[in-house]
Amino acid sequence: MRTHVAELKEGDKISNDIFNSYGLHVLSKGTDLSARDISKLFQHQVDYVDIEARIIETMPLRTLESGISPKWLPTMEPIYQEAVSGCEQLFLEALQNGKIFEEDVVQTFQPLVENFRLERDVVSMLLLLNTKDDYTYQHSVQVGMLAYYLASWLGYDEKQSVKIGQAGFLHDIGKCKIEDSILNKPDRLSEEEYELIKQHTVFGHAIIQQSFGETLHALVALEHHERMDGTGYPNRISGDQMHPVSKIVAVADVYSAMISSRVYQKKRDLLFVLKELYRMSFSELDAFTTHTFIKHMIPNFIGKRVEMLTGETGTIIMTHPSEFFRPLIQIEDEFIDMTIDRTLEIKHVYM
């Protein structure tokens, strides 16, 4: 059965040996495809493969609250999971050797860029791909993706945006030196544990500096927890001393952390998360960077069902370019402009 690689599923069996355009052998006949194998096919730019006839599946894909399961999920999910696994290997490499290799970073992160750059609904994409497992590695992958998107929204060219995405991808590499029992502790951290956690910025800077020299990636690892008002760590520098890319990764880092599904943190409503970022933009996060992020994320809510504080439900029809959280809502046959009717508030957005 001739099948495009975008339609492949884990468990599909290859019926012929597969070679790339240079004649390099990629996969052998009889291979039961794993997520890693499918990702390898994308990396080698193989378009079609022959597989044996499938047994009809009844297992549904993961869906959003709305019941929608986007068509891109079977294609994107294995690439995302491959990046998460690659991130774990980078952390292990950094712990064992004290450094990482640039080719490993590129090989892990580049497939994300090549396959995700055309996906506009970043909100739904991250929610569907996010799981409760491997938080540290998933967070690194998500921050890399978000930093790439945000950089492009801010006007950086493709090459610069990829570099910024890589910096976001590596921002937490220093956590390899902190025990999992502390990183994943379900209870409140002690003062000593929190001080150790804060050192991941210093550890990360040292690892990347040892690997690549004093690069942008190293600086971002050091600065991504600094804050505009000087309340961050490790050096409590203020916004005028932070690198612009550190400000980008800081926004991506906070957003990813707040939408995570860690077992000890209840996921917050997406609108609440963006409102919290907006609040932080007046003190801790760079205002222009944060507002650019929100401005590009908010249109993803168009068409989504909402629950109002009154208990009524409606649909977001249009968003406002500056009043981000007061869209045009349709409730039954009535259209309500929340910039005019300021008594209304959205309680929950169903993604």
pLDDT band at 3 (very low <50, low <70, confident <90, very high): confident
Question: Between 270-280 and 244-259, two packed helices, what is the crossing angle to 10 degrees?
Answer: 150
pLDDT at residue 62 greater than cutoff 70: no
For residue 45, the model assigns a pLDDT of 81
pLDDT band at 56 (very low <50, low <70, confident <90, very high): very low
Once rounded to an integer, what is the mean pLDDT over residues 299-315?
91
- Which of 43-47, 189-193, 287-291, 329-333 reaches the highest mean pLDDT? 287-291
**Percentage of the chain lying above the pLDDT 70 cut:** 90
Q: Which amino acid is at 152?
A: S
Residues 35-63 as b or e (16 or more Cβ within 10 Å = b): bebbbbbbbbebeebebeeeeeeeeeeee
List the single range of 87-101, 109-123, 167-181, 268-282 with lowest mean pLDDT. 109-123
Question: Taken in order 127, 317, 309, 343, is the CA torsion positive or negative?
Answer: positive
pLDDT at residue 120 greater than cutoff 90: no
- Kindly report the number of other CB atoms within 10 A of residue 65's CB atom: 12
pLDDT at residue 58 greater than cutoff 60: no
At residue 13, the 3 state secondary structure works out as strand
Average pLDDT over the chain reads 88
Once rounded to an integer, what is the mean pLDDT over residues 72-92?
87
pLDDT at residue 313 greater than cutoff 90: yes
pLDDT at residue 31 greater than cutoff 80: yes
